[in-house]
């Protein structure tokens, strides 16, 4: 986890590929969890939470690091989906 702070260093492709594999597996499990009726709200909560924090802390959106602007951008992104 602390290796994310290494900027300017050569990329450790093994570490990067391992992270990518973990994300693919966990996201797939999350999407399959959504097929269970009692747990169907979990993927939506995750994508909303993840989108908001990525937008806010990443400095994206119409006004970087503004929580209201990040919330509006997140609502629009999640409502529009993959157009």
Contact (Cβ atoms closer than 8 angstroms) between residue 61 and residue 55: yes
Same domain for 34 and 62, yes or no, is: no
> Do residues 28 and 49 share a domain?
no
So what's the pLDDT on residue 1? Answer: 46
Residues 29 and 64 both lie in one domain: no
Q: Are residues 33 and 57 in the same domain?
A: no
Number of domains in the chain: 2
Question: pLDDT: is 40 or 81 the higher one?
Answer: 40
Instruction: Tell me which residue range forms the domain holding 72.
Output: 41-83
User: Are both 64 and 46 inside the same structural domain?
Assistant: yes
Same domain, 30 and 55: no
Q: Is the dihedral of CA 28, 44, 80, 62 positive or negative?
A: negative
pTM: 0.52
């Amino acid at each position: 986890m602390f290796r994310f702070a290494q900027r300017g260093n050569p990329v450790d492709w093994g570490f990067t590929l391992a992270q990518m594999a973990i994300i693919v597996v966990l996201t797939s499990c999350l999407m399959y969890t959504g097929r269970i009726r009692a747990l169907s709200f979990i993927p939506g909560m995750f994508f909303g939470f993840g989108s908001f924090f990525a937008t806010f802390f990443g400095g994206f959106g119409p006004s970087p690091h503004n929580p209201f602007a990040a919330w509006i951008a997140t609502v629009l992104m999640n409502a529009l989906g993959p157009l």
